[in-house]
Amino acid sequence: MARRALYDYLYPAAPQDLERDPESMYVFTSQRAAWLRQQGCPDHLSARGIEHLWAQFKRQGSYEEWQLIADIPFHDLRHDFAHRARQSGWSLEEIAVYAGHQTKDGVPAIATTVRYTLPSRKQLKERVQLLQG
Amino acid sequence: MTTRSTDSPPLQEFAAALGGCDPKTAAAYLTTVRDFVAWLASQPGGRPFHLGLVTETAVRGYMDFLVTVNRAPRTRSKALSALRRFCQWAVDEGHLRRNPARAMERPTVVAVAPTELSEKQRFVLKTMVEQHATSRFAAIFAASLLGRAAHQRDRDAATGSVHHQSTSRQHYPGRCQRRKDEDA
């Protein structure tokens, strides 16, 4: 799914559907990419831009959908990925490397990754219930 | 480093000394120190600002002030980091004999609550992406599901080749590097 979505974005069927600025070296470009380049600034989509798109996107849901997703910040998707990877058997080191958690020396920053994969209260409750005796 | 015409000379010198830092870090430090100077100005004898006013009492008073205006522990912790850096600069330059912010206890920052989406939330988000999203947003969403919100790959990602490239955060040669855990 992810690869398909990226491919469709980078190589749309019709050239006029290309939403990316082809002059840019970045994957996700700002809508003001050309202007930013003129100013000598990086022309990638900014974190604020992503948050804006995310808020716009969430508003398109029905009331029922909105109630489920209203409180989800975009960055939670990254946390969710780390949880799913952990549940799929990835080690903390693997998640750290994949998620780009590194110290300046290039060593995996496990402490950071741990913050992404802390067990929830619900998970701990389930564990406690499994205790014998 | 961007300073304002209203900044006092010590602040401008401090800003110049932060030249090697990540611009965002430097800007955050300066914002805090400006706020500290503004708070100090509202105290008896707190103006005009000079480095002699930066005492342990002043730093502690400012940190207590942040509590009274309901600043979050993480915000207060960041403010203390900025003040420590400012005071350390003043010590290094010979303006202060000791760092008054050094002994200050750092506010306890509660660990980030673990965030895992429920099955229903994932279902709703994926459905909405299929129904409403542009190809651009669908690609951003897909990348984020792979934990790539902050680290995107270049266009070869879609065709299989991997050429890692960080796009949402720049790396500066003289960056004040501690650990790159700020995106947590």
3-state SS assignment for residue B102: coil
- Pick the residue from chain A with its C-alpha nearest to B176: A104
Q: State the smallest CA–CA distance between residue A132 and chain B in angstroms.
A: 26
Confidence of residue A91 (pLDDT cuts 50, 70, 90): very high
pLDDT at B113: 63
| A-B Cβ pairs (cutoff 8 Å, strict) | 173
Question: Residue type for A101, please?
Answer: H
Q: State the smallest CA–CA distance between residue B10 and chain A in angstroms.
A: 29
3-state SS assignment for residue A76: helix
Interhelix angle for A92-99 vs A76-87, to 10°?
150
**CA separation for the pair B58, B31 (Å, rounded):** 17
Q: Which of A73, A102, A7, A83 is nearest to B139 (CA)?
A: A7
Region of B94 (left: φ > 0; alpha: ψ -120 to 50; beta: rest) is: left
B12: tokens are 């401008």
pLDDT at A133: 64
Per-residue pLDDT of chain B (184 residues; tens, 9 = 90+): 567 777 788 888 998 888 888 888 899 999 999 999 999 999 998 888 888 999 999 999 999 999 999 998 888 999 999 999 999 999 999 999 999 998 888 887 766 566 788 899 999 999 999 898 888 899 888 888 776 644 443 333 333 333 333 333 333 333 333 333 334 4
3-state SS assignment for residue A100: coil
Chain B touched by A1 (CB under 8 Å): yes
**CA separation for the pair B136, B67 (Å, rounded):** 42
pLDDT at B110: 65
pLDDT at B178: 36
Degrees to nearest 5, angle at CA B178 with B140 and B64: 95
Q: Do B166 and A100 touch (CB under 8 A)?
A: yes
Which ipTM value was assigned to this complex? 0.85
pLDDT at B111: 62
A16-64 pLDDT, tens digit each:
888 888 899 898 999 899 999 999 988 999 888 999 999 999 999 999 9
- Model's pTM, two decimal places? 0.59
Q: What is the DSSP letter of B52?
A: G
Residue A121 in this model has a pLDDT that exceeds 50: yes
**CA separation for the pair A14, A27 (Å, rounded):** 18
